[in-house]
Amino acid sequence: MARPDISDSPDDWWRSAVIYQIYPRSFADADGDGVGDLAGITSRLEALADLGVDAIWVSPFYRSPQKDAGYDVADFCDVDPVFGTLDDADALIARTHELGMRIVVDIVPNHSSDQHAWFQAALAAPPHSAARARYIFRDGRGDSGELPPNTWQSVFGGPAWTRVIEADGTPGQWYLHLFDSTQPDLDWTQEQVREDFDAILRFWLDRGVDGFRVDVAHGLVKEEGLPDYTDEQLIAASIGDTTAPSPHFGQEGVHEIWRRWRAVLERYGADRILVAEAWVEPLTRMALWARRDEMHQAFNFGYLMTPWDSGALRAVIDASLDAFSRVGAPSTWVLSNHDVVRHATRLGLADVPPLGHGVGRDTPGLPETEHGVRRGRAATLLMLGLPGGAYLYQGEELGLPEALDIPAQARQDPAWFRTGGERYGRDGCRVPIPWEAQAPGFGFSPTGASWLPQPDAWGRFARDAQRGVPGSTLEMYRSALALRADLALGTGDFAWVDAPPGVIAFDNGATRIVTNMTGEPVTLQDPLLAGEVLLASTPLEGSFEPDSTVWIRRA
């Protein structure tokens, strides 16, 4: 019997797609101001077609004061001048399609920027007015309202409420912001907010985008009455990583919004997709975001957070395949994005800091670069051997590690400021990527300018230093994506293969994927490895080295 989650319909492209995340500030800068832009992306798209990805996902490029690198949107239907114009967006969409790829854009519905016209109108309007109803304004506690309305903490540190000064100059109501104080939360119980977002979806669908990555898709709906939530550790330690619904994350009411959005998309055709950024656990709960009438996919953060441990990986792969298949969705796989420590560094850390805290030069137990990159490559080949959809983050195909030496005065992440430097935040994974080893700014920008400093040693990771070089990380990714397509690994049948402790082995159709996590070499005569070697993350010379993955055409 045909598997229900496999089909030949082009509408189902996303079920097995490899989608590449572009972080526009740091991908390619055409105008030389040191911040990447849309024209820069368009000019470099051929490199992604050459890499072999099916689609790109572009992080926010909308009008924004850039207090949270564009996740603070002041106009959802316009391009920020730092990134270009709407014409540049049209050109990017057209060129992506011309090259045979799809394009997914980011949408940020949980909050807007405090500079959005809606919020400015709310500030100018009196308490309890219709303009304020779009956001979550409340009177404070205490004799004169001097205390926040409840105990919630911002994901970026500090209280989740800020008090406003009313038109008459007196301290007044408080507004909720789960993130920075410049990112007020919208009130999704308001029909007006829902209608506005329907229109924003249509605006971009009309321009030809193939889908949306939905920011904070577990937020939006807050528990009625906004009850105190004292489990500060959970909220403060992470981007909303909670195992049970909290009053601000994972509320049942969010699902009805995704059903409504799905219906908006379906009118444009069954090939337009929604992917959820929903930091909820366990995976069976996360899979609820990918039900047939809701979103198509959800980022598999359970997989991303799994340490380099064969037992833990086996367990999370089983849990992922099981949880997503129960809702008829393919699992996704992801190792890096713009919020987490790059996996070429993270997987080698003795202790991974909590989500969003980042690492710096003085973090204990940092891996030595070579070792980190080697483990990162092994992890990538393991991931790309799994059936389902995979997400890549710009620069991982170059083997980039986390940037560790960003001086305090250059840092930009609000998490750094809101915690007085206690958390490094996410700047280390957002440094502009290297294109050309010998060019100023490694080819990121024609002037050599870069909004975050690039490490001097990054020339060796530059794309032009790796393209065509056998064994380079870039060539490993190119081969893996080509083989993944040829061997139909994205839609293959998965089966575990018995392996000694510390070794992970599975078959995907006729291909065997084996990862050596034992810390010791494994002999190549092992029957587990019988067959033709298709690809290896570390050259196989007599033995199968630790921290390596190999793809084998089974004998």
According to DSSP, the residues that pair with 532 across neighbouring strands are 553
Structure tokens given for 388: 């389902």
Residue 134 C-beta: closest distance to ligand GLC, Å:
17
Q: What is the SS3 assignment for 505?
A: strand
Q: Which is nearer to ligand GLC, 204 or 494 (CB)?
A: 204
Q: Which is nearer to ligand GLC, 11 or 422 (CB)?
A: 422
Q: Which is nearer to ligand GLC, 184 or 389 (CB)?
A: 184
- Give the number of other Cβ atoms within 10 Å of residue 255's Cβ: 17
Residue 108 C-beta: closest distance to ligand GLC, Å:
6
Edge-to-edge strand list for the sheet holding 55-58: 297-298, 273-276, 211-214, 102-107, 55-58, 18-22, 389-393, 332-334
Q: Which is nearer to ligand GLC, 92 or 239 (CB)?
A: 239
Q: Which is nearer to ligand GLC, 18 or 340 (CB)?
A: 340
Residue 70 C-beta: closest distance to ligand GLC, Å:
9
Round to whole Å and give the CA distance between 151 and 193: 25
Q: Which is nearer to ligand GLC, 54 or 215 (CB)?
A: 215
125, 129, 131, 134 alpha-carbon torsion, rounded to 10° = 140
Q: What is the SS3 assignment for 420?
A: coil
Q: Which of 216, 384, 462, 503 binds ligand GLC (CB under 6 A)?
A: 216
Residue 171 C-beta: closest distance to ligand GLC, Å:
27
Does the annotation count 402 as an active-site position?
no
Q: What is the SS3 assignment for 412?
A: coil
3-state DSSP helix/strand/coil % of the chain, to nearest 5: 30, 15, 50
Return the residues of window 268-327 that contact ligand GLC according to CB under 6 A. 277
Residue 338 C-beta: closest distance to ligand GLC, Å:
6
Q: Which of 108, 382, 480, 522 binds ligand GLC (CB under 6 A)?
A: 108
User: Per CB under 6 A, does 239 bind ligand GLC?
Assistant: yes
Residue 340 C-beta: closest distance to ligand GLC, Å:
10
How many residues interact with ligand GLC (rule CB under 6 A)? 10
Q: Which is nearer to ligand GLC, 215 or 464 (CB)?
A: 215
Q: Which is nearer to ligand GLC, 187 or 339 (CB)?
A: 339
Q: What is the SS3 assignment for 190?
A: coil
Structure tokens given for 520: 């010791």
Q: Which of 215, 294, 402, 507 is catalytic?
A: 215
Residue 216 C-beta: closest distance to ligand GLC, Å:
5
Q: How far is CA 530 from the centre of its chain?
A: 36
Q: Which of 23, 57, 62, 71 binds ligand GLC (CB under 6 A)?
A: 71
Q: Which is nearer to ligand GLC, 200 or 216 (CB)?
A: 216
Q: Which of 114, 185, 294, 339 binds ligand GLC (CB under 6 A)?
A: 339
Supply angle C-alpha 381, 482, 470, rounded to 5.
70
Return the residues of window 431-490 that contact ligand GLC according to CB under 6 A. none
Q: Which of 29, 80, 187, 215 binds ligand GLC (CB under 6 A)?
A: 215
Contact 69, 412 (CB under 8 A): yes
Residue 280 C-beta: closest distance to ligand GLC, Å:
13
Q: Which of 277, 402, 413, 464 is catalytic?
A: 277
Strand pairing category for 511-516 and 75-79: unpaired
Round to whole Å and give the CA distance between 209 and 94: 9
Residue type for 498, please? D
Round to whole Å and give the CA distance between 469 and 192: 55
Closest CA to 549 of 353, 384, 423, 418: 384
By beta carbon distance, the residue nearest ligand GLC is: 71
Q: Which is nearer to ligand GLC, 337 or 345 (CB)?
A: 337
Q: How far is CA 476 from the centre of its chain?
A: 22
Residue 463 C-beta: closest distance to ligand GLC, Å:
25
Rounded to 5 degrees, φ, ψ at 274 are: -120, 130
What burial letters (b/e) apply to 390-428, b meaning 16+ CB within 10 Å? bbbbbbbbbbbbbbbebeeeebbbbbbbbbeeebbbbbb
Round to whole Å and give the CA distance between 325 and 310: 22
Contact string 152-191 vs ligand GLC (x = CB under 6 A): ---------------------------x------------
DSSP 32-49: SSSS--HHHHHHHHHHHH
Residue 356 C-beta: closest distance to ligand GLC, Å:
8
Helix (H) or strand (E) holding 213: strand 211-214
Residue 320 C-beta: closest distance to ligand GLC, Å:
20
DSSP 428: G
Does the annotation count 215 as an active-site position?
yes
Round to whole Å and give the CA distance between 2 and 345: 41
Round to whole Å and give the CA distance between 472 and 551: 16
Going through 394-546 in order, the beta strands assigned E by DSSP cover 494-496, 503-508, 511-516, 522-523, 531-536, 543-544
- Rg, the chain, Cα only: 23
Q: Which is nearer to ligand GLC, 108 or 535 (CB)?
A: 108
Binding site for ligand GLC (CB under 6 A): 68, 71, 108, 179, 215-216, 239, 277, 338-339
Q: Looking at the annotation, which residues are catalytic?
A: 215, 277
